């Protein structure tokens, strides 16, 4: 049985914890879009001591012996970032081998000129800057769509790689200098290219055939999404989005598997909303309460350390995410962050230029002026941290959750009440209905 995990808001919903919890139940864990703009924290136990580690590109299955990790064709890979991540994992005693980490030969590369271009283009946008992670994600996807990108498979043919790198570097340098930036050092790039080829080639293969063959043999796939529905290039708050399809269609195109193989789809959603970078956010709290939620929820970017903007749960976008991704269930995270509040708001609609709507507008400018219409619920003002049994939750927390589920249009398969694996309420009956018999340790 296969399972896809999708972000439902603007990212940072806590997908990492849910994927980490589920990974031991699957044979193969696949990342299918985005790049090292994502970041998710996993706990690695070494010599009896828990160490936190942030993964950016490598699926979290890497910490579980027996899992195979695949970086799919839809991902954009910065070889420097990937090699650093591999080196860090090895330092922590985690084996990373050509057997447990496979890289699609069709995945595009992020090269140093993409990072330089990301910076230049963002500074040219001025007050309309997207607030990117500056990792070169957008420019690398631009090259992919312009049909001039270099792919991981190019690292397996060094003479051709050097030729392509040279042509692309010259083109990028003329654009960079035109934008007032410094050109990148072509000779250094060629020297680096040779080294990346040597180190990464053993991991590079045709993962499309691999995934379909293994799936046919009965091995299960966990499809790990990065970013989220509202950051999707097509369905998010364009242009304040990332450059890939982080909704469910991206799992098919980014892994090379047909829709029927996607299986069950679970959306991860926070009990409130956060966003990093620019762009509309109707339920954003600009007051002390927003700051308190940031402090209690430790809402700082795992990749960039930037403070996240915080706000109330927005059922308009939750319902949209359930619709666009066909979510079978939700995994709610960070319920405990709301424990102290006397009253909790839920956004049930928007008023845009005086007109009420329950739909996400296509236009970021309309979303920018959307006034949230709130329903207010009483807070439970009791600790929920660590509770792993639904019946033990305060009654008011149960009522809040029931209302969120009703408004979103999907049931909760998981409710997370803390960072540890056992701090999770799991609806095993609901998962079993979808053919998922999970062993959670
Ligand atoms: P890019 O993906 O670096 O081009 O950034 C585009 C937008 O997506 C910016 O607003 C980023 O802050 C946001 N973004 C990209 N990756 C993540 C993520 O993993 N979590 C949250 N926001 C992200």
pTM tops 0.85, yes or no: yes
In order, the DSSP letters of 374-419 are EEEEE---S--TT---GGGS-HHHHHHHHHHHHHHTS-EEEEE-SS
How many angstroms does the Cα of residue 280 sit away from the middle of ligand 1?
Answer: 14
Note the pLDDT of residue 137.
98
342: burial class by Cβ within 10 Å (0-12, 13-18, 19+)? exposed
Which residue's C-alpha comes closest to atom 11 of ligand 1?
Answer: 132
Which residue's C-alpha comes closest to atom 8 of ligand 1?
Answer: 242
Which residue's C-alpha comes closest to atom 15 of ligand 1?
Answer: 37
Report the C-alpha gap between 404 and 422 in whole angstroms: 23
Q: Are strands 49-55 and 76-77 parallel, antiparallel or unpaired?
A: unpaired
Ligand 1 atom nearest 303 alpha carbon = 19
pLDDT digit string, tens, across residues 223-276: 999 999 999 999 999 999 999 999 999 999 999 999 999 999 999 999 999 999
pLDDT digit string, tens, across residues 20-64: 899 999 999 999 999 999 988 877 767 778 778 889 999 988 988
Could you tell me the pLDDT band of residue 278, with boundaries at 50, 70 and 90? very high
16: burial class by Cβ within 10 Å (0-12, 13-18, 19+)? buried
Residue 342 has pLDDT above 70, yes or no: yes
Q: In the predicted model, what is the mean pLDDT of the chain?
A: 95
Could you tell me the pLDDT band of residue 305, with boundaries at 50, 70 and 90? confident
pLDDT digit string, tens, across residues 203-222: 999 999 999 999 999 999 99
> What is the arithmetic mean of pLDDT over 321-332?
98
Domain ranges in the chain?
3-102+206-433, 110-201
Ligand 1 atom nearest 135 alpha carbon = 3
- Architecture per CATH, domain 110-201, reads as Orthogonal Bundle (1.10)
Note the pLDDT of residue 371.
98
How many angstroms does the Cα of residue 160 sit away from the middle of ligand 1?
Answer: 32
Overall CATH class of domain 3-102+206-433: alpha beta
Note the pLDDT of residue 43.
72
The percent of residues in the chain predicted with pLDDT above 90, rounded, is 88
Residue 419 has pLDDT above 90, yes or no: no
How many angstroms does the Cα of residue 440 sit away from the middle of ligand 1?
Answer: 31
Residue 343 has pLDDT above 70, yes or no: yes
Residue 441 has pLDDT above 70, yes or no: no
Could you tell me the pLDDT band of residue 136, with boundaries at 50, 70 and 90? very high
Query: Which residues, judged by CB distance below 6 Å to any ligand atom, belong to the binding site of ligand 1?
Result: 11-12, 37-38, 130-133, 135, 137-138, 226-227, 231, 240, 242-243, 276-277
User: What secondary structure letter does DSSP report for 305?
Assistant: -
């Amino acid at each position: 049985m296969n399972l896809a995990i999708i972000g439902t808001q603007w990212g940072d919903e806590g997908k990492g914890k849910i994927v980490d919890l589920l990974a031991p139940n699957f044979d193969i864990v696949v990342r299918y879009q985005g790049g090292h703009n994502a970041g998710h924290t996993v706990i690695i136990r070494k010599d009896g001591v828990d160490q936190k580690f942030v993964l950016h590109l490598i699926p979290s299955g890497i910490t579980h012996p027996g899992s195979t990790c695949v970086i799919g064709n839809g991902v954009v890979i910065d070889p420097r970032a990937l090699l650093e991540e591999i080196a860090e994992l090895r330092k922590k005693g985690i084996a990373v081998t050509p057997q447990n980490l496979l890289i699609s030969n069709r995945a595009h590369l992020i090269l140093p000129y993409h990072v330089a271009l990301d910076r230049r283009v963002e500074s040219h946008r001025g007050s309309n800057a997207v607030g990117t992670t500056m990792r070169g994600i957008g420019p690398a996807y631009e090259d992919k769509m312009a049909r001039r990108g270099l792919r991981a498979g190019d690292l397996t043919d060094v003479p051709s790689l050097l030729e392509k790198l040279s042509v692309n570097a010259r083109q990028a340098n003329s654009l960079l200098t035109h934008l007032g930036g410094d050109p990148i050092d072509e000779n250094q790039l060629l020297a680096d290219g040779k080294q990346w080829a040597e180190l990464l080639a053993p991991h590079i293969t045709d993962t499309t055939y691999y995934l379909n063959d293994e799936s046919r043999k009965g091995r299960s796939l966990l499809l790990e999404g990065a970013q989220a529905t509202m950051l999707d290039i097509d369905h998010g708050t364009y242009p304040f989005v990332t450059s890939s399809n982080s909704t469910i269609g991206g799992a098919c195109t980014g892994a090379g598997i047909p829709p029927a193989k996607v299986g069950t789809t679970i959306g991860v959603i926070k009990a409130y909303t956060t966003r990093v970078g620019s762009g509309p956010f109707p339920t954003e709290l600009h007051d002390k309460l927003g700051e308190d939620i940031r402090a209690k929820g430790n809402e700082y970017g795992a990749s960039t350390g930037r403070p996240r903007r915080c706000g109330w749960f927005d059922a308009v976008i939750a319902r949209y995410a359930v619709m666009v991704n066909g979510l079978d269930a939700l995994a709610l995270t960070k319920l405990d962050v709301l424990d102290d509040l006397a009253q909790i708001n839920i956004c049930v609609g928007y008023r845009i230029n005086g007109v009420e709507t329950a739909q996400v507008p296509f236009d970021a400018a309309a979303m920018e002026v959307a006034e949230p219409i709130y329903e207010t619920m009483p807070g439970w003002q009791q600790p929920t941290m660590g509770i792993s049994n639904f019946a033990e939750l305060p009654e008011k927390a149960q009522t809040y959750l029931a209302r969120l589920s009703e408004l979103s249009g999907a049931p909760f398969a998981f409710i997370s009440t803390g960072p540890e694996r056992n701090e999770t309420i799991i609806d095993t009956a609901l998962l079993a209905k979808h053919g998922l018999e999970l062993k959670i340790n």
